């Protein structure tokens, strides 16, 4: 069996974690290919809720092997905590279950300090990053002075490299941003401890994936963030510093394109965003509170990583069609349909309007999304609670009509619809 890629079709938090958990039932390897602990992927298994920032969500299935690909930036402190959290949750985590690519880059306290200093300097133009040091870590990577996981294998050289890294960054922290310098010895000592604990997990991730694919095993690539946060394809500069889109999976894992089979785009039944940047269908007031929830439910729209309330709005088909273009999804997974239950009407943004003209697609690109007014199709809602639906026949006709309208507008099949956070709260349209 070949490689499937699960990609966020919006601004992140689409429910990728729960979809990966579903597909991982049949996978032998689940591999994260981009981002770092800015991600927060939730997997709900009965009483257990796993909130995973770094390790692939597929590890919630005990038979899988998890990989952190070369495209990922790793905060070793977060990783070790997460490994322990999974062990506390009853899962086995050892070097035969988790493999780190030697070429994955490391996040250090320097990167976090720089992230905070850069955001403070941007003032009202801030990006609203997760302050996890993601941007500065990828900057060091592209400046060819980053620290890679493989360097943890030689303790002495690693300690020297960390000290040089801190000394170099201190000049920027103090000189450019007027921030406090970090202690190179302390950081080196801390990272040596991490190296000792993580060394055994470093392995030839790309080679393992290749061998598994040659062996006809099913490999799943797990996206983090979302298409509209992609450094190249997203709402720049309000993006992350990696490539969450499908092509990023190939670069971020060291796999060639011919292996790819399905590319599943995960989209919520509405739209959310944390952080700054354009959002044409954004809602405020009562309807926003209704879609966001108050925080009483674990699935309410508050950031898994930062706890920030997410901005919410109606599903935007202009942006979903754009996501189709840059990812070539082979199917869509529509999540959180249950949240729309009880609304008298549901709006679906099918185009944009500006200066009296209507557009079905973006005329020039995402940079101007703020200049448009959404054009909506208004559809009847449904009263029924749909959380117990398991087949298409269990869904009210209005819900089916909403799904069909999305399919028609996107020009692609919706293969799965989730109706609650639990593993089994899923309606499969795979054979429909």
- The answer to whether 334 and 328 have CB atoms below 8 angstroms apart is no
Residue 79 pairs in a beta bridge with none
Q: Report the C-alpha gap between 61 and 207 in whole angstroms.
A: 22
For ligand GDP (CB under 6 A), the number of binding residues is: 23
Cα–chain center distance at 65: 19
Q: Which does 37 bind (CB under 5 to 8 A by kind): ligand IMO, ligand GDP, Mg ion, none?
A: none
Taking the complex as a whole, the smallest distance from the CB of residue 20 to ligand GDP amounts, in Å, to 8
275 is an interface residue for Mg ion by CB under 5 A: no
Stretch that binds ligand IMO, among 18-26, 34-42, 342-350, 367-375 (CB under 6 A): 34-42
**Structure-block tokens of residue 75:** 């905060």
Is 13 designated active site? Answer: yes
Q: Which residues have a Cβ under 8 Å from the Cβ of 193 and sit 6 or more positions away? A: none
**Taking the CA of residue 106 as centre, how many other CA atoms within 13 Å lie in the half-sphere pointing to its CB?**
25
Nearer to ligand IMO, 143 or 258 (CB): 143
Q: Which residues have a Cβ under 8 Å from the Cβ of 312 and sit 6 or more positions away? A: 270, 271, 272, 282, 283, 288, 291, 292, 301
Angle at 218 between CA 216 and CA 221, to 5 degrees: 130
Stretch that binds ligand IMO, among 33-41, 54-62, 323-331, 423-431 (CB under 6 A): 33-41
Q: Give me the 113-132 binding string for Mg ion, x by CB under 5 A, dash otherwise.
A: --------------------
Taking the complex as a whole, the smallest distance from the CB of residue 119 to ligand IMO amounts, in Å, to 9
- 13, 21, 140, 338: the catalytic one is 13
- The answer to whether 33 and 20 have CB atoms below 8 angstroms apart is no
Tokens 């995973």 belong to which residue? Answer: 52
Taking the complex as a whole, the smallest distance from the CB of residue 298 to ligand GDP amounts, in Å, to 6
Is 361 designated active site? Answer: no
16 is an interface residue for ligand GDP by CB under 6 A: yes
Per CB under 6 A, residues contacting ligand IMO are: 8, 11-13, 38-41, 127-130, 132, 134-135, 224-226, 229, 240-241, 274-275, 304
Catalytic residues: 13, 41
Per CB under 6 A, residues contacting ligand GDP are: 8, 12-18, 40-42, 44, 298-299, 304, 335-336, 338-339, 418-421
């Amino acid at each position: 069996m070949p490689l499937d890629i699960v990609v966020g079709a919006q601004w992140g938090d689409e429910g990728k974690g729960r979809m990966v958990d579903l597909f991982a039932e049949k996978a032998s390897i689940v591999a994260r290919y981009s981002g770092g602990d800015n991600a927060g992927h939730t997997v709900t298994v009965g009483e257990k809720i796993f909130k995973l920032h770094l390790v692939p969500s597929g590890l919630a299935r005990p038979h899988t092997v998890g990989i952190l690909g070369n495209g990922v930036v790793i905060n070793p402190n977060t990783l070790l905590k997460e490994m322990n959290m999974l062990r506390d949750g009853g899962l086995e985590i050892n070097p035969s279950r988790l493999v780190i690519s030697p070429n994955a880059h490391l996040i250090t306290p320097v990167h976090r300090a720089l992230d905070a200093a850069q955001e403070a300097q941007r003032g009202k133009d801030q990006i609203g990053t997760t302050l996890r040091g993601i941007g500065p870590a990828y900057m060091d990577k592209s400046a060819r002075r980053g620290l890679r996981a493989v360097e943890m294998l030689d303790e002495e050289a690693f300690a020297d490299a960390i000290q040089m890294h801190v000394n170099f960054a201190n000049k920027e922290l103090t000189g450019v941003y007027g921030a406090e310098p970090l202690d190179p010895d302390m950081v080196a000592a801390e990272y040596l401890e991490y190296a000792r604990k993580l060394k055994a997990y470093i392995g030839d991730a790309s080679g393992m994936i290749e061998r598994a694919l040659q062996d006809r095993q099913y490999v799943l690539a797990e996206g983090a963030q979302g298409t509209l946060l992609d450094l190249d394809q997203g709402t720049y500069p309000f993006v992350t510093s990696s490539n969450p889109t499908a092509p990023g999976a190939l670069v971020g894992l060291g796999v060639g394109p011919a292996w790819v089979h399905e590319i599943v785009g995960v989209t919520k039944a509405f739209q959310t965003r944390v952080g700054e940047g354009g959002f044409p269908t954004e809602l405020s007031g009562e309807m926003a509170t209704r879609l966001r929830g108050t925080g009483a439910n674990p699935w309410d729209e508050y950031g898994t990583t930062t706890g920030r309330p997410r901005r919410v709005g109606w599903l935007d088909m202009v942006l979903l069609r754009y996501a189709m273009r840059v990812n070539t999804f082979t199917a869509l997974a529509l999540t959180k349909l249950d949240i729309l239950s009880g609304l008298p009407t549901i709006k679906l943004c099918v185009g944009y309007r500006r200066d009296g003209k209507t557009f079905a697609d973006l005329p020039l690109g995402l940079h101007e999304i703020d200049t448009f007014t959404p054009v909506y199709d208004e559809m009847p809602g449904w009263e029924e609670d749909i959380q117990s639906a398991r087949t298409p026949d269990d869904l009210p006709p209005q819900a089916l009509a909403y799904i069909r309208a999305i399919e028609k507008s996107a020009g692609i099949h919706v293969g799965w619809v989730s109706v609650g956070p639990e593993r089994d709260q899923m309606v499969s349209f795979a054979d429909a």
